[in-house]
Amino acid sequence: EAAVTQSPRNKVTVTGGNVTLSCRQTNSHNYMYWYRQDTGHGLRLIHYSYGAGNLQIGDVPDGYKATRTTQEDFFLLLELASPSQTSLYFCASSDGGRRFEQYFGPGTRLTVL
């Protein structure tokens, strides 16, 4: 079965702090995604990538950077965290031929004080 892992699972930081969220998939999928989930908004796409070194913007990219270092690893960076970025973050992966069948990780809960 597809496997997507995220770390850390929980993170608390202060306003203006730097945060890096990590995601690894062992599915040999070429697509990877970062979403945030907030009550009333559902899942919203921040960034996605279709391979190492590639980065595409989603619907809510402001305040976020991302980097895909290998096919397996995708990172989300918050360089100046703000309270509005307090959220539940999910990483997902999918195969190029079945791009809309996404496999999700367990999520990272981020709190910015």
Q: Which residue has the tokens 């770390």?
A: 7
One residue of 53, 62, 97, 100 binding another protein per CB under 8 A: 100
Task: State yes or no: residue 34 binds another protein (CB under 8 A).
Answer: no
Per-residue contact string for residues 38-57; x = within reach of another protein by CB under 8 A: -xxxxxxx--x-------x-
Specify the residue, 10 or 53, whose C-beta has the smaller distance to another protein: 10
- Find the helix or strand (DSSP H, E) in which 94 lies: strand 87-94
Give least dist CB 81 to another protein, A: 22
Q: Is 3 buried (19+), middle (13-18) or exposed (0-12) by CB count in 10 A?
A: exposed
| Dist. CA 82–CA 70, nearest whole Å | 28
CA angle 44, 48, 49 (to 5 degrees): 170
Task: State yes or no: residue 104 binds another protein (CB under 8 A).
Answer: yes
| Dist. CA 76–CA 95, nearest whole Å | 20
Give least dist CB 27 to another protein, A: 13
List of residues contacting another protein (CB under 8 A):
4, 33, 35, 39-45, 48, 56, 58-59, 90, 92, 99-107
